[in-house]
Structures are given as C-alpha cells and as structure tokens.
Homo-oligomer: A and B are copies of this chain.
Amino acid sequence: MTSTVDTVRELTYAEAIREALAQAMEADERVFLFGEDVGIYGGAFGVTGDLVHRFGTERVRDTPISELGIVGAAVGAALAGMRPIVEIQFSDFTAQAMDQIANQAAKIHFMLGGAAEVPMVLRAPGGSGTGAAAQHSQSLEAWFAHVPGLKVVMPATVADAKGLLLAAIDDPNPVVVLEHKLLYKQSGQVPADSGRVPLGEAAIRREGTDLTMVATGVMVSRALEAADQLAADGISATVVDPRTLKPLDSGSIVDAVVATGRALLVQEAPRSGGFMAEVAALIGDSPAFGYLRAPIRRLCGLDVPIPYAPQLERAAVPQVPDIVAEATRLVREW
C-alpha cells in the first residue's frame, strides 16, 4: 500500500474480493480467513485463489465441513481480539450456522451491555442460475436483515465487491456479505488502493423520471438492462441499488420514489416475506406515500424452491423481459 495515485483497473468480481481480502490481511495482522476449501483449492468459486500461497495456511485456513463450528470459532476469535473473515461455501449453509450467526454474533455486543465486540465478516454466495438446485441457490438476505445486530451487504458491482468488503472488515460488528455466483466472473473497474464503500449508502445507478426500480444483487444489472430497453420505448427509469440492506439507506430510496411517483421493487428471492417487502413497507409509510401515482409493485422470485432444470430455474426468478414488461405495465396503466 505505498502508491499514492489510485489506479483503476479492470478486475472480475471474484478478483476484486480477493484483492480486498489481501489488502486487509496486509494492513492488519488480526485479519484472517477461514472456511471450507479456501486454501489450496482456492475456494469453491475460486474467490480466495492463491491467497494461501501469499499468506500461509495459518491465515488462510481450511476447515472441516462444520459451518456452525466455523462461525462459532469466528465469534470466539473476534471476541478474543482477531478480525476473522469466514467463507460459507453456499449461503444456503448459513442455515447450519444460524445459531452462531443470529443468536451469538448478532446479539453478544448488546447482551453483554456493550462490554464486548464481535468484529467479523461472513461472506457467502447466494442466488440461482447455475443449475445447482434448491439447496444451493437461495437468496436468504431477508433472514439476516431481520436480525438486529447484523449488518448486511449485497455487492452488485465489481467495485462494490471490493469496497463494501473493505468497509465490512473495518466494521466492529458482524457483517454478512452476500455475494452472487453469477457475478463472480463479471468484470469491472476497481480502484487499486482504497475504494472503500461506506456501509449504509445506496447507489443511484441510473436516473429517470417515470419510475424508480429498486433492485439487489444480480437484479441490479438486470434492472439496468431493462432500463435501457425501456428508454428505447420512451420510459425513463431510475435504478437504485441499496447495496447495504442493514442499515438501509431509506432516504435515497424514498427520494427516488418521490421524484418518479412509481416504484418497482425487484428481487431474486421468493416474494413472500422477502427483503423488498421491507422496501415496499417503508415507501408506503414515508413522505413518498403522497407522491405515489401507482401501487408499489414487487417483481420477485416465485414462492418456490429453485428447481434444477434450466428452463424451470429461469422461470423461477425475474429475467430482463419480465422487468421490462412489469415496468411498462406500471407506467402505462397508472
């Protein structure tokens, strides 16, 4: 970290994460990684890559398959002064570790009256689209966003993959970083040195006048693609990417809806009780309420487990044409 001019290069989302991990480990010896196959294998999705060769097997530590134990060990290591970063191979397996995530990590600072901190990061990939079926494809952000004490981020761009992770590592609280499998190979511009993205700030990815689309994860790029198509059709859309789900930058969302009068909320997760329900609820009880020209619409994954067959898997979550169609309806009919 000696250069002073911050160069911007093209990296993949996975490389950007790896760069953040490496920089954090270089900057602070308390930072270390552990998880299943993060060492010599380089991570199930290749995210940790060669880090074990650069930092050794102590700091890039392979674990047995025991998610609850891994997260619990991260909690203990954090309590005893380290800054652990845990990789859970698929976010679906956070179910195994939910006690340590929700009952321990999230609550300890509060339960102990502030006498202890649990500065840890839990990285896990979510999402469908790889044919991995129902137990390897979920989008579980709503679970975590409902747990007081956790912070939750969902990087949707390559730069955010690095920037949000660096901010998460700095944070004195447990932060759940939900990556997306389909994004790992996507490329984008990333600042070499800094590039921290503060937690709790949404990004306005595009500004328009007819409707506001709020989207998370892989739906951000789909919403942007849809917005391009809509523009060709004379519909002008704002796209808001909350980036951090907890704490949520509700101000940016509300402002955008005030400006456009319509809201289309797009998520991959099943509709019922998904995170966009929270977004809809906050819009419906915000100053934007008085500006609404149309119902607050959600476009979500179906309320089904993710199926294996590619044609079924595609049908289970919103695709670009679905977004275009729904946005068009919302604007034309209201």
**Which chain A residues have a beta carbon within 8 Å of chain B's beta carbons?**
68, 92-93, 95-96, 98-99, 101-103, 106-107, 110-111, 133-135, 142-143, 145-149, 246, 248, 269-270, 272-278, 280-281, 283-286, 289, 292, 295-298, 302-305, 307
Contact = CB atoms under 8 A, between A and B. Distances in A.
Contact of A96 (B99, B135, B285, B303): B99
How many copies of the chain does the oligomer comprise? 2
Nearest to A274: B146
8 contacts: A68-B96, A93-B99, A95-B101, A142-B142, A143-B143, A148-B302, A277-B277, A289-B295
Given A95-B103, A273-B277, A276-B281, 6 more contacts: A93-B99, A95-B102, A110-B307, A148-B302, A274-B278, A284-B296
Contacts of A111: 133-135, 305
A32 B272 CA distance: 31
B281 A277 contact: yes
Contacts of A143: 143, 146
Contacts of A286: 295
A111 B134 CA distance: 7
